[in-house]
Protein backbone atom coordinates (compact mmCIF):
# COMPACT_ATOMS: atom_id res chain seq x y z
CA UNK A 1 0.00 0.00 0.00
CA UNK A 2 1.24 3.48 -0.88
CA UNK A 3 -0.15 6.86 0.11
CA UNK A 4 -0.71 9.51 -2.56
CA UNK A 5 -1.32 13.15 -1.59
CA UNK A 6 -3.53 15.17 -3.91
CA UNK A 7 -5.16 18.58 -3.75
CA UNK A 8 -8.28 18.58 -1.55
CA UNK A 9 -10.39 20.65 -3.94
CA UNK A 10 -10.25 22.64 -7.14
CA UNK A 11 -9.29 21.89 -10.72
CA UNK A 12 -6.16 19.90 -9.86
CA UNK A 13 -8.21 17.68 -7.55
CA UNK A 14 -10.75 16.96 -10.30
CA UNK A 15 -8.09 16.26 -12.93
CA UNK A 16 -6.10 14.03 -10.56
CA UNK A 17 -9.18 11.95 -9.71
CA UNK A 18 -10.04 11.76 -13.42
CA UNK A 19 -6.54 10.54 -14.27
CA UNK A 20 -6.76 7.88 -11.56
CA UNK A 21 -10.16 6.76 -12.86
CA UNK A 22 -8.82 6.50 -16.43
CA UNK A 23 -5.99 4.38 -15.03
CA UNK A 24 -8.56 1.98 -13.53
CA UNK A 25 -8.24 3.27 -9.97
CA UNK A 26 -11.50 4.28 -8.31
CA UNK A 27 -11.37 6.72 -5.42
CA UNK A 28 -14.13 7.37 -2.93
CA UNK A 29 -14.95 11.07 -3.05
CA UNK A 30 -15.84 12.97 0.11
CA UNK A 31 -15.16 16.60 0.97
CA UNK A 32 -15.21 15.69 4.66
CA UNK A 33 -12.56 12.99 4.47
CA UNK A 34 -8.86 13.52 4.94
CA UNK A 35 -8.09 9.97 3.78
CA UNK A 36 -9.75 7.54 1.40
CA UNK A 37 -8.71 4.20 -0.02
CA UNK A 38 -9.00 2.65 -3.46
CA UNK A 39 -10.73 -0.72 -3.56
CA UNK A 40 -9.05 -1.87 -6.78
CA UNK A 41 -5.42 -0.73 -6.33
CA UNK A 42 -3.11 -0.69 -3.26
CA UNK A 43 -3.44 3.08 -2.91
CA UNK A 44 -4.53 5.44 -0.15
CA UNK A 45 -5.40 9.06 -0.95
CA UNK A 46 -4.49 11.93 1.37
CA UNK A 47 -6.31 15.22 0.65
CA UNK A 48 -4.28 18.38 1.35
CA UNK A 49 -3.84 22.00 0.31
CA UNK A 50 -1.64 22.20 -2.76
CA UNK A 51 1.17 24.04 -0.98
CA UNK A 52 1.23 21.39 1.79
CA UNK A 53 1.77 18.46 -0.59
CA UNK A 54 5.55 18.87 -1.15
CA UNK A 55 6.10 19.08 2.61
CA UNK A 56 3.96 16.00 3.27
CA UNK A 57 5.95 14.02 0.70
CA UNK A 58 9.34 15.26 1.92
CA UNK A 59 8.40 14.29 5.51
CA UNK A 60 7.22 10.83 4.47
CA UNK A 61 3.62 11.53 5.52
CA UNK A 62 2.78 10.63 1.91
CA UNK A 63 4.90 8.39 -0.31
CA UNK A 64 4.10 10.33 -3.49
CA UNK A 65 2.05 13.36 -4.44
CA UNK A 66 0.38 15.08 -7.38
CA UNK A 67 1.01 18.81 -7.33
CA UNK A 68 1.81 21.70 -9.63
CA UNK A 69 5.47 22.04 -10.57
CA UNK A 70 5.24 25.65 -9.37
CA UNK A 71 4.67 24.43 -5.79
CA UNK A 72 7.66 22.10 -6.01
CA UNK A 73 9.92 24.93 -7.19
CA UNK A 74 8.59 27.35 -4.59
CA UNK A 75 8.93 25.05 -1.58
CA UNK A 76 12.50 23.89 -2.35
CA UNK A 77 12.07 20.69 -0.34
CA UNK A 78 13.76 17.30 -0.80
CA UNK A 79 11.33 15.85 -3.31
CA UNK A 80 11.91 14.46 -6.77
CA UNK A 81 9.73 14.92 -9.85
CA UNK A 82 9.29 11.35 -11.11
CA UNK A 83 6.66 11.90 -13.80
CA UNK A 84 5.07 14.84 -15.65
CA UNK A 85 1.33 14.33 -15.96
CA UNK A 86 0.40 16.72 -18.77
CA UNK A 87 -2.62 18.36 -17.12
CA UNK A 88 -3.04 21.45 -14.94
CA UNK A 89 -0.89 23.45 -17.35
CA UNK A 90 -0.32 27.11 -16.57
CA UNK A 91 2.48 29.65 -16.41
CA UNK A 92 3.89 32.02 -13.80
CA UNK A 93 4.19 35.46 -15.27
CA UNK A 94 4.92 39.07 -14.43
CA UNK A 95 2.09 41.50 -15.12
CA UNK A 96 1.87 45.29 -14.91
CA UNK A 97 -0.94 47.87 -15.20
CA UNK A 98 -2.07 47.95 -18.83
CA UNK A 99 -1.44 51.68 -19.11
CA UNK A 100 2.24 51.45 -18.10
CA UNK A 101 4.96 51.55 -20.74
CA UNK A 102 7.09 48.41 -20.61
CA UNK A 103 10.62 48.59 -21.96
CA UNK A 104 12.06 45.37 -20.52
CA UNK A 105 13.05 43.76 -17.23
CA UNK A 106 14.67 47.01 -16.06
CA UNK A 107 11.11 48.23 -15.49
CA UNK A 108 11.03 46.13 -12.31
CA UNK A 109 14.09 47.68 -10.64
CA UNK A 110 12.92 49.13 -7.31
CA UNK A 111 9.29 48.27 -8.16
CA UNK A 112 7.03 46.64 -5.56
CA UNK A 113 5.88 43.24 -6.81
CA UNK A 114 3.13 41.25 -5.09
CA UNK A 115 3.26 37.46 -5.36
CA UNK A 116 2.47 34.16 -3.68
CA UNK A 117 5.74 32.76 -5.14
CA UNK A 118 8.56 34.92 -3.72
CA UNK A 119 11.20 32.15 -3.89
CA UNK A 120 10.77 31.54 -7.61
CA UNK A 121 10.63 35.28 -8.35
CA UNK A 122 13.67 36.13 -6.21
CA UNK A 123 15.72 33.43 -7.93
CA UNK A 124 14.62 34.68 -11.36
CA UNK A 125 15.53 38.31 -10.70
CA UNK A 126 18.88 37.37 -9.15
CA UNK A 127 19.75 35.56 -12.37
CA UNK A 128 18.73 38.63 -14.38
CA UNK A 129 20.47 41.20 -12.16
CA UNK A 130 17.23 43.00 -11.28
CA UNK A 131 16.51 44.30 -7.76
CA UNK A 132 12.81 44.82 -7.03
CA UNK A 133 10.86 44.87 -3.74
CA UNK A 134 9.12 41.50 -3.46
CA UNK A 135 6.08 41.33 -1.19
CA UNK A 136 4.47 37.99 -0.36
CA UNK A 137 0.67 37.93 -0.51
CA UNK A 138 -1.35 34.80 0.29
CA UNK A 139 -4.26 35.42 -2.07
CA UNK A 140 -5.98 37.84 -4.50
CA UNK A 141 -2.60 38.92 -5.86
CA UNK A 142 -4.18 40.46 -8.95
CA UNK A 143 -5.88 43.26 -7.00
CA UNK A 144 -2.64 44.49 -5.37
CA UNK A 145 -1.83 47.20 -7.98
CA UNK A 146 -5.43 48.48 -7.95
CA UNK A 147 -5.46 49.06 -4.19
CA UNK A 148 -1.95 50.51 -4.13
CA UNK A 149 -0.17 47.58 -2.49
CA UNK A 150 2.14 46.93 -5.43
CA UNK A 151 3.31 48.24 -8.79
CA UNK A 152 3.18 44.83 -10.47
CA UNK A 153 2.36 41.20 -9.76
CA UNK A 154 3.86 37.76 -10.31
CA UNK A 155 1.19 35.08 -10.41
CA UNK A 156 -0.27 32.01 -12.10
CA UNK A 157 -1.79 32.69 -15.51
CA UNK A 158 -4.00 30.22 -17.38
CA UNK A 159 -6.09 32.15 -19.91
CA UNK A 160 -5.17 35.70 -18.92
CA UNK A 161 -8.81 36.65 -18.31
CA UNK A 162 -8.24 37.51 -14.64
CA UNK A 163 -5.41 39.88 -15.54
CA UNK A 164 -7.54 41.69 -18.10
CA UNK A 165 -10.47 42.05 -15.71
CA UNK A 166 -8.12 43.69 -13.19
CA UNK A 167 -6.55 46.11 -15.67
CA UNK A 168 -3.27 44.20 -16.00
CA UNK A 169 -1.24 42.82 -18.88
CA UNK A 170 1.26 39.98 -18.98
CA UNK A 171 4.76 41.15 -19.92
CA UNK A 172 7.15 38.32 -18.94
CA UNK A 173 6.58 34.57 -18.76
CA UNK A 174 8.96 33.24 -16.09
CA UNK A 175 8.19 29.50 -15.89
CA UNK A 176 5.73 27.00 -17.33
CA UNK A 177 4.06 24.61 -14.91
CA UNK A 178 1.93 21.47 -15.00
CA UNK A 179 0.87 18.73 -12.62
CA UNK A 180 3.72 16.40 -11.68
CA UNK A 181 4.07 13.23 -9.65
CA UNK A 182 6.63 13.68 -6.88
CA UNK A 183 8.39 11.27 -4.54
CA UNK A 184 10.36 11.88 -1.37
CA UNK A 185 12.99 9.73 0.29
CA UNK A 186 13.93 6.35 -1.18
CA UNK A 187 10.90 4.09 -1.05
CA UNK A 188 10.93 0.49 0.06
CA UNK A 189 11.07 -2.00 -2.80
CA UNK A 190 7.44 -3.11 -2.44
CA UNK A 191 6.23 0.51 -2.53
CA UNK A 192 8.53 1.32 -5.43
CA UNK A 193 6.96 -1.53 -7.42
CA UNK A 194 3.47 -0.08 -6.85
CA UNK A 195 4.67 3.38 -7.92
CA UNK A 196 6.09 1.89 -11.14
CA UNK A 197 2.76 0.17 -11.81
CA UNK A 198 0.94 3.46 -11.23
CA UNK A 199 3.22 5.36 -13.62
CA UNK A 200 2.82 2.61 -16.22
CA UNK A 201 -0.96 3.05 -16.05
CA UNK A 202 -0.64 6.83 -16.32
CA UNK A 203 1.60 6.46 -19.37
CA UNK A 204 -0.94 4.14 -21.03
CA UNK A 205 -3.61 6.82 -20.57
CA UNK A 206 -1.31 9.59 -21.80
CA UNK A 207 -0.31 7.70 -24.95
CA UNK A 208 -3.93 7.37 -25.99
CA UNK A 209 -4.68 11.10 -25.73
CA UNK A 210 -5.42 12.64 -29.11
CA UNK A 211 -5.21 9.27 -30.88
CA UNK A 212 -7.73 7.30 -32.96
CA UNK A 213 -7.76 3.69 -34.15
CA UNK A 214 -8.47 3.30 -37.88
CA UNK A 215 -9.55 0.16 -39.76
CA UNK A 216 -10.17 -0.04 -43.50
CA UNK A 217 -10.20 -2.31 -46.50
CA UNK A 218 -7.58 -1.56 -49.14
CA UNK A 219 -6.62 -3.17 -52.47
CA UNK A 220 -3.45 -5.21 -52.08
CA UNK A 221 -1.81 -3.39 -54.97
CA UNK A 222 -2.19 -0.06 -53.09
CA UNK A 223 -0.87 -1.39 -49.79
CA UNK A 224 2.57 0.20 -50.09
CA UNK A 225 1.02 3.64 -50.65
CA UNK A 226 -1.39 3.13 -47.75
CA UNK A 227 1.38 2.16 -45.31
CA UNK A 228 3.34 5.28 -46.27
CA UNK A 229 0.27 7.35 -45.32
CA UNK A 230 -0.31 5.37 -42.10
CA UNK A 231 3.02 4.47 -40.53
CA UNK A 232 1.31 3.35 -37.30
CA UNK A 233 2.92 3.10 -33.87
CA UNK A 234 5.57 0.70 -35.19
CA UNK A 235 3.95 -0.26 -38.49
CA UNK A 236 0.33 -0.84 -39.55
CA UNK A 237 -1.34 -4.19 -38.99
CA UNK A 238 -2.22 -5.89 -42.29
CA UNK A 239 -4.69 -8.80 -42.43
CA UNK A 240 -5.84 -10.76 -45.50
CA UNK A 241 -9.53 -10.68 -46.49
CA UNK A 242 -11.56 -13.55 -47.90
CA UNK A 243 -12.07 -11.46 -51.05
CA UNK A 244 -9.09 -11.95 -53.35
CA UNK A 245 -6.95 -8.87 -53.96
CA UNK A 246 -8.00 -7.07 -50.78
CA UNK A 247 -6.65 -6.72 -47.24
CA UNK A 248 -7.58 -5.03 -44.00
CA UNK A 249 -5.32 -2.30 -42.67
CA UNK A 250 -5.30 -1.21 -39.00
CA UNK A 251 -3.35 1.75 -37.57
CA UNK A 252 -3.26 4.35 -34.80
CA UNK A 253 -3.29 7.97 -35.97
CA UNK A 254 -3.22 11.40 -34.41
CA UNK A 255 -6.64 13.00 -34.20
CA UNK A 256 -5.17 16.19 -35.68
CA UNK A 257 -4.23 14.30 -38.85
CA UNK A 258 -7.34 12.14 -39.03
CA UNK A 259 -9.32 13.79 -41.83
CA UNK A 260 -6.33 14.47 -44.07
CA UNK A 261 -5.32 10.79 -43.74
CA UNK A 262 -8.86 9.65 -44.59
CA UNK A 263 -8.92 11.83 -47.72
CA UNK A 264 -5.54 10.49 -48.88
CA UNK A 265 -6.60 6.90 -48.28
CA UNK A 266 -9.87 7.28 -50.16
CA UNK A 267 -7.96 8.60 -53.17
CA UNK A 268 -5.99 5.33 -53.38
CA UNK A 269 -9.06 3.12 -53.05
CA UNK A 270 -9.60 2.59 -49.31
CA UNK A 271 -13.15 1.53 -48.44
CA UNK A 272 -15.26 0.84 -45.33
CA UNK A 273 -13.11 3.09 -43.14
CA UNK A 274 -13.87 2.81 -39.43
CA UNK A 275 -12.59 5.26 -36.80
CA UNK A 276 -12.67 4.13 -33.17
CA UNK A 277 -11.87 5.83 -29.89
CA UNK A 278 -8.64 4.72 -28.25
CA UNK A 279 -8.72 4.34 -24.48
CA UNK A 280 -5.29 2.96 -23.56
CA UNK A 281 -1.97 2.28 -25.29
CA UNK A 282 0.26 -0.20 -23.48
CA UNK A 283 3.65 -0.96 -25.03
Residue ending a domain, among 133, 156, 177, is 177
Lowest mean pLDDT among 105-119, 140-154, 179-193, 232-246: 232-246
Look at the chain and report how many structural domains it folds into. Answer: 3
Its domain, for residue 195, covers: 2-87+179-207
Asked if pLDDT for residue 271 goes beyond 90, the answer is: yes
Give per-residue pLDDT as tens, 218-268.
Answer: 999 999 999 888 865 567 888 999 899 999 999 988 888 899 999 999 999
Question: How much helix, strand and coil, in percent to the nearest 5, is found in the chain?
Answer: 35, 30, 35
Please indicate, yes or no, whether residues 72 and 197 belong to a single structural domain of this protein: yes
Is residue 89 within 8 Å of 157, Cβ to Cβ? no
| Domain presence at residue 56 | yes
| Domain presence at residue 65 | yes
Of the pLDDT bands very low, low, confident and very high (cuts 50, 70, 90), residue 157 is very high
> What contacts 55, CB < 8 A, 6 or more positions away?
75, 77
Give per-residue pLDDT as tens, 9-47.
Answer: 889 999 999 999 999 998 876 666 788 989 899 999 999
Please indicate, yes or no, whether residues 81 and 113 belong to a single structural domain of this protein: no
Query: CA–CA distance from 268 to each of 222, 224, 228, 256, 263 (Å)?
Result: 7, 11, 12, 21, 9
Q: What is the pLDDT of residue 66?
A: 97
Asked if pLDDT for residue 140 goes beyond 90, the answer is: no
Please indicate, yes or no, whether residues 193 and 163 belong to a single structural domain of this protein: no
Share of the chain above pLDDT 90, in %: 73
Asked if pLDDT for residue 116 goes beyond 70, the answer is: yes
Q: What is the pLDDT of residue 167?
A: 94
Give per-residue pLDDT as tens, 70-93.
Answer: 999 999 899 999 999 999 999 999
- Cα–Cα distance measured from residue 98 to residue 163, given in angstroms and rounded to the nearest whole number: 9
Please indicate, yes or no, whether residues 192 and 81 belong to a single structural domain of this protein: yes
Q: What is the pLDDT of residue 189?
A: 93
| Domain presence at residue 283 | no
Mean of pLDDT values over 1-9: 94
| Domain presence at residue 282 | no
Rounded to two decimals, what is the model's pTM? 0.82
CB atoms within 10 A of CB 211: 17
- Cα–Cα distance measured from residue 277 to residue 275, given in angstroms and rounded to the nearest whole number: 7
Amino acid sequence: MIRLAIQAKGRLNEESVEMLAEAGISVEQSKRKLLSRSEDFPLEILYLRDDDIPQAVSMGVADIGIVGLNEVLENELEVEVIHKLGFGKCRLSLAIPKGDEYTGLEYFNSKRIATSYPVILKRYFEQKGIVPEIHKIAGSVEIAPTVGMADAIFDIVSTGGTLISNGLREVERVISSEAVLISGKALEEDKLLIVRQLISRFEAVERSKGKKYMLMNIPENRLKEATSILPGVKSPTVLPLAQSGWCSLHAVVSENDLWSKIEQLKLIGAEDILVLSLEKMIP
